[in-house]
Amino acid sequence: MKKVLFVVLAFVFAGFLFAGGSKETAPAKTANSGKPVIMKFGHSMPTDSTRHEALLKFKEYVEQKSGGRLKVEIYPSGQLGKESEMIEAIKTGVQEGYLGGVFDALTPKLNLYLMPFFFEKQEDLVRVTKSPIGAAIAKDGDTYGVKILAVGDGGSRHFTNNVRPIRTPADMKGLKMRTPPIESIIKCMEALGANPVSIPYGETYMALKTGVADGQENPFMNIATMKFHEVQKYLTVINYQFHPEPFCVSPGWFNKLDKDLQQIITDGAWVYTDLQNKLRLETNEKWFKVIKDSGIQVYVPTAAERQMFIDACKPVYDYFINKGTFSRQELEEVKKVAFNK
């Protein structure tokens, strides 16, 4: 009986060792088994957007550099869900990559890019994204369950609507303006006298067409590729916000990858970002022409009118500082980098 018990205990002990009874963690995820690591990448823009075009370059880069150990699957046009759903999916590890504009869920520090009438041109924003303070803003995403590998230019934004030309803030009063779930945009609309209406990006076209919203705000490329101009009468060229373009991955997935694969994806994120920045700049006039040629009425505010918008939006800065989203010192540091002061 004792001999049988000894044999059983020996097998149990051996099984414990082989099952990882030591406290070593599981090995990093690799593709050494011959099967590539799959990276599902979702975004809400259509396939003719600069975002999608640059993502195709990212896919080509990482698959080539990894020798096939990485395989990138791109899902455009919200195929993986709404932006809020995709963010939750990368936080839980269901989805590996995401690009989009719901910034507060990534890190509130991204609001340092989102203050109204802050950046004058793309170059100013990019100077910040590639600086130490830009890296610190991206790093803050770790606190919220998101790894931000790079940040680029998400475009400068303009107003469209179906009610009247917008020449001064007084023309915004009472307009139902579609807004994404981005607090800085909501606060800007409120400061200008508009009524923000929260509508998912993919549902905006029908909301404008049916009158659920009177207007919306977006860059030229977004307006044109999503065909918002087809259901809008007036465009005001205002450049009231420059948005960042955070390249996000799931930290739980990314941290389990072999170090060399992590580096390839990180480098690829900047390949994407640099190309997307270039395409944004180069195609801006093309998309503007598409919108103008549709017959929409275009208005460009005078310097004095533009200053009225700037003055009306000043309380937005104080709101975020008083809320503690960022400090006045942090804002001044960003400004110093942006404008080489």
Domains and CATH numbers, the chain: 36-154+244-283 (3.40.190.170), 158-242+285-338 (3.40.190.170)
Give the sheet arrangement for strand 158-161, strand by strand: 195-198, 176-179, 215-218, 158-161, 234-236, 297-299
pTM score above 0.75: yes
Q: How confident is the model at residue 7 (pLDDT cuts 50, 70, 90)?
A: very low
Q: What angle do CA 201, 164, 316 make, to 5 degrees?
A: 60
Q: For 133-191, what is each residue's pLDDT tens digit?
A: 999 999 999 999 999 999 999 999 999 999 999 999 999 999 999 999 999 999 999 99
Cβ atoms within 10 Å of 61's Cβ, excluding its own: 21
Report the pLDDT value the prediction gives residue 122, as an integer from 0 to 100.
Answer: 96
CA distance 332 to 130: 17
Long-range contacts of 334-339 (CB under 8 A, 24+ apart): 334/112, 334/113, 334/128, 334/133, 335/118, 337/127, 337/128, 337/131, 337/133, 337/134, 338/118, 338/119, 338/124, 338/125, 338/127, 338/128, 339/120, 339/124
Q: For 86-142, what is each residue's pLDDT tens digit?
A: 999 999 999 999 999 899 999 999 999 999 999 999 999 999 999 999 999 999 999
Cβ atoms within 10 Å of 215's Cβ, excluding its own: 26
Report the pLDDT value the prediction gives residue 101, as an integer from 0 to 100.
Answer: 87
Report the pLDDT value the prediction gives residue 34, as an integer from 0 to 100.
Answer: 73
Q: For 264-311, what is each residue's pLDDT tens digit?
A: 999 999 999 999 999 999 999 999 999 999 999 999 999 999 999 999
Q: How confident is the model at residue 33 (pLDDT cuts 50, 70, 90)?
A: low
